[in-house]
Amino acid sequence: MQDKIPNRTSVLEQLERILQSVDFANSPKLSNFISYIVKVEADGNGDRIKAFSIGVDALGRSETFDPQADNIVRVTAGRARQALGRYYDGPGQHDAIKISLPKGTYRPRFEFNTPFGVDRALAINDNVPSRVSVRATPAVMVLAFLTVCVLTISVFLAWGPNPNSNSDRGDGFRADMPIVEIATFEETGEAELDALLDGLRHRIAEDLSRFRVARIRLEPHTLSPSNRASRSEAADFSLKGVVISTSPTMLQISIIDRADDTLLWSKTTELPDDWKTYSSVMDDGIRSVVLQLVGARGAIPLALERDLAQFATIRSDTEGAPGSGFRCVLLFHAYDASKGEAQRQEAHACLSALIDQDNRDSEVWAAWAMLNFLDWTKAEDYALLDRALSAARKAVSLDPNYANAHEYLGSILMAQGRRGLARESYETALDLNPYKPDLHVLVGWEQALAGDWQSGVEKIERGIAMSPIPAAWMRIPLALDAFRQKDFERSLMQAELMIEAGDDRGIVLALAAAIALGDDERSGALKAQMQARSDTYKSDPMREIRGVFNAPELLSAYERTLAPWLLEPA
């Protein structure tokens, strides 16, 4: 006989439990989506659940919404499906009611998750008397106890506190997670290979941040005073890379336990000339690294197994030839880290050749989008911004699960002043990769631009706290906020941290703060640095800041402060 399904009251109670979990509590979009489809289905109107109705009634799209042209429903459904999986692998694994979203449909499924643990009869029929006893046999009780023990030990050995618990800060970040520092790879003396290896280092950091196993930080090439301060918290593990042969190129990656300098794991891989194979080899390496890091602390939780499976799916060859542009993407990462002109030219030449061939790799289009966007911040050629927007949208269409594509699209939309759409892109990226500090900063960035400085700065500071060595650009709104409040000492400090980390955009912010403080000695040195950057530095000194944080009233205050200096002879 076919089993009965849970009643409406039990389903709605289960929905409330799910909405309190980390993934849904931190994403209004996911919460609205799952609430809508569950309530409509529970009311017996499941045949009304269509992409159009979800887009309009749950996700805020207008009546002109076209699900064929706008993939928000499909992307959100995928995120909800993954979030439900994580919930039932973690805090919901013993819940009586299971809500799932089968692939190929937007209609949820309601079923019983386990035959014991709660009064199942109460969930079947609202009219069952309130006093119902369920007798558990000794064998069932022992099995249930052992299951709970094993799962609990596995989670605590591997993670410490439950990563899905609401006892954390609410964004999935836990300060007790171990720190993994990805060391600079030893240079080979071959410029292109060294650039590729540095790009690879950043790619490894990006991929590792997808998994709830550690806080990831990159060892800087040079240690400024600010970086030394940021590294005061010792790393638990080091990941090191050494090229032990260049013909063929053999890369050895090792994991060191910093507590006693024990070698935990080491693997030597030949880096193939075929870049698609290269991508596959490195993806296998990422999975190995993740498993070794978790294995160093205990058993592997079910949630991590799911994350690893999703990582394999995301990297699979589904659209054209993912991985075929891997070399170009690594070159872009190297440029993005260094902002060096030689690296920019090399990445530009490599990526543009693939774009001309209509490459089908989402990572290639995302890198091309960000490269053009960065060029635009320097030149303000709006053709570059339009090209960046088109490329970012194509990257999203090629792979809706690629977080960087959504992140870059958000930054481009933000520069165009389309803050609502930008925030949607950032939130989608955050759903895909909730443990990437940059995304928390970008959401706060949008809030500050919208005028909610307090909430925005809090979100930015949270993102910075998640990153053992924060990127310099994260401090731009912090310097601006301090200047806005006429706290010029704090503004100067944030700007100087940017400069020490290698971001020259901090120079003009520091100069304005130094002038406002009347610090002639410091402002004199900063003026010389500005002059060394460009011969046209006085024509529009706030141009690069305006390109990423266009707050006209605040930037006008900067320009008024800088005005006496601008009138000085060159």
pLDDT in tens, 459-496: 899 888 877 668 889 999 999 999 999 999 999 999 99
Mean pLDDT, range 24-53, rounded to an integer: 90
Mean pLDDT, range 109-130, rounded to an integer: 50
Mean of all residue pLDDT scores within the chain: 76
More confident residue, 17 or 247: 17
Where b means 16+ CB within 10 Å and e means fewer, 310-342 reads bbeebbeeeeeebbbbbbbbbbbbbbbbbeeee
433 pLDDT exceeds 60? Answer: yes
Helix, strand, or coil (residue 111) = strand
> Residue 185's pLDDT band (boundaries 50, 70, 90)?
confident
Helix, strand, or coil (residue 167) = coil
* Of 156, 341, 286, 150, nearest in space to 278 by CA: 286
Minimum mean pLDDT among 218-227, 228-237, 324-333, 445-454: which range?
Answer: 218-227
DSSP string across 391-425 = HHHHHHHH-TT-HHHHHHHHHHHHHTT-HHHHHHH
137 pLDDT exceeds 50? Answer: no
Q: Is 47 exposed, middle or buried (0-12, 13-18, 19+ CB in 10 A)?
A: exposed
The residue type found at 445 is W
Task: Write the DSSP symbol of residue 131.
Answer: -
> Residue 325's pLDDT band (boundaries 50, 70, 90)?
confident
Minimum mean pLDDT among 71-75, 313-317, 482-486: which range?
Answer: 313-317
Residue 293 confidence (pLDDT): 57
Residue 235 confidence (pLDDT): 78
Mean pLDDT, range 454-459, rounded to an integer: 92
For the range 27-32, what are the long-range contacts, defined as Cβ-Cβ under 8 Å and sequence gap of 24 or more?
27/79, 27/83, 27/427, 27/430, 27/431, 28/427, 29/59, 29/76, 29/424, 29/427, 29/428, 29/431, 30/76, 30/79, 30/80, 30/83, 30/431, 32/58, 32/59, 32/60
More confident residue, 178 or 291: 178
> Residue 304's pLDDT band (boundaries 50, 70, 90)?
very low
Mean pLDDT, range 323-338, rounded to an integer: 75
Number of C-beta neighbours around residue 68 at 10 A: 6
Strand partners, 253: 241, 267
Minimum mean pLDDT among 166-180, 339-353, 488-502, 535-549: which range?
Answer: 166-180
Close Cβ partners of 511 (under 8 Å, ≥ 6 residues apart): 523, 526, 527, 530, 562, 565
270 pLDDT exceeds 50? Answer: yes
Q: Which two tokens stand for residue 74?
A: 């499909």
**HSE-CB of 273 using CA atoms within 13 angstroms:** 3
443 pLDDT exceeds 70? Answer: yes
Mean pLDDT, range 296-317, rounded to an integer: 47
> Residue 283's pLDDT band (boundaries 50, 70, 90)?
low
Mean pLDDT, range 360-377, rounded to an integer: 91
More confident residue, 205 or 20: 20
Minimum mean pLDDT among 67-76, 127-136, 333-342, 463-472: which range?
Answer: 127-136
Close Cβ partners of 10 (under 8 Å, ≥ 6 residues apart): 96, 97, 122, 123
Residue 519 confidence (pLDDT): 92
Minimum mean pLDDT among 74-83, 184-193, 412-421, 512-521: which range?
Answer: 184-193
Residue 282 confidence (pLDDT): 57
53 pLDDT exceeds 90? Answer: yes
154 pLDDT exceeds 50? Answer: no
Residue 233 confidence (pLDDT): 62
> Residue 88's pLDDT band (boundaries 50, 70, 90)?
confident
Residue 58 confidence (pLDDT): 93
Angstrom distance (rounded) from CA 401 to CA 257:
33
β 109-112/97-100 pair status: antiparallel
Q: Which two tokens stand for residue 286?
A: 């990422």
Helix, strand, or coil (residue 269) = strand
Angle between helices 326-338 and 275-295 (to 10 degrees): 60
Residue 284 confidence (pLDDT): 58
* Of 322, 342, 318, nearest in space to 282 by CA: 322
Residue 415 confidence (pLDDT): 87
Residue 280 confidence (pLDDT): 57
